[in-house]
A = this chain, B = another copy of it.
């Protein structure tokens, strides 16, 4: 665990857990020898955290503070900030703003932030699930004697829409090595910079296939020991509850080995809700002219309760 790897840095120190949830990270910190942990949680799950801390006999080390980070008060500055702040596509309904607020208000100079860095990646994919759903309409005639092939276009517009789709991507569907398009250093990034996270990407396709979507994911890095620990939500790694963010293109495009998929991607808060994310992509595939598409996460894609 990332916390235990950093136990040298945590032992005897004061820790702030931003968005503590059930308090499990706070307990890890106490187990790693923290002198004191302030566990701040705004939702009613804080009541459960109180029970869990008591059950684990950590009341003397961990203070559960019910309230939003921006509103609460702490009796002292802290040596370490820990937080599991990441949302879908890293920034959707994320708590990163609160972590940065906590850093600027409560972290001692030279203090530690866990995780300390986030990176964003993109790769073109050939999403077979959506292709199968589209191909269904061409099979109806043979199966039921009714030609419904003209539904394919309509269904394509329904599926290949402007929603950011959060789903696990099968590794076989990924068509190139990932391209890193942004990196956030949690010691220096500002709330203002989070309003526009932008970067370029360039991918060389592995071989003959069809690109029907771009796939976005992230990693976060915990410093420590000889080797930093990286939590990756890549389709090449074990699935996490963040899965991947899929951006469907309007039309599928055939690619060959070394066909370039490149462009610029821009993540920013939606005008309706500052905690919701929009993604704008300008992209070109091979010799085709540049295309643009803007995506957002539909309502109801919130973190699930236990």
Contacts and interface: CB of A to CB of B under 8 A. Distances in A.
Nearest to A47: B154
Contacts of A151: 22, 48, 52, 306
Nearest to A28: B146
B147 A52 contact: yes
A148 interface: yes
Contacts of A150: 48, 51-52, 55
Total copies of the chain: 2
Size category of the binding interface on chain A: 20 to 34
A56 B149 CA distance: 10
B48 A306 contact: no
A80 interface: no
A56 B148 CA distance: 8
Interface of A: 1, 22, 24, 27-28, 31, 48, 51-52, 55-56, 133, 137, 140, 144-151, 154-155, 158, 300, 305-306
Which residue of A1, A24, A151, A158 has the most chain B CB atoms within 10 A of its CB atom?
Answer: A151
Contact of A305 (B48, B137, B158, B306): B158
Nearest to A45: B154
Nearest to A300: B300
A31 B144 CA distance: 11
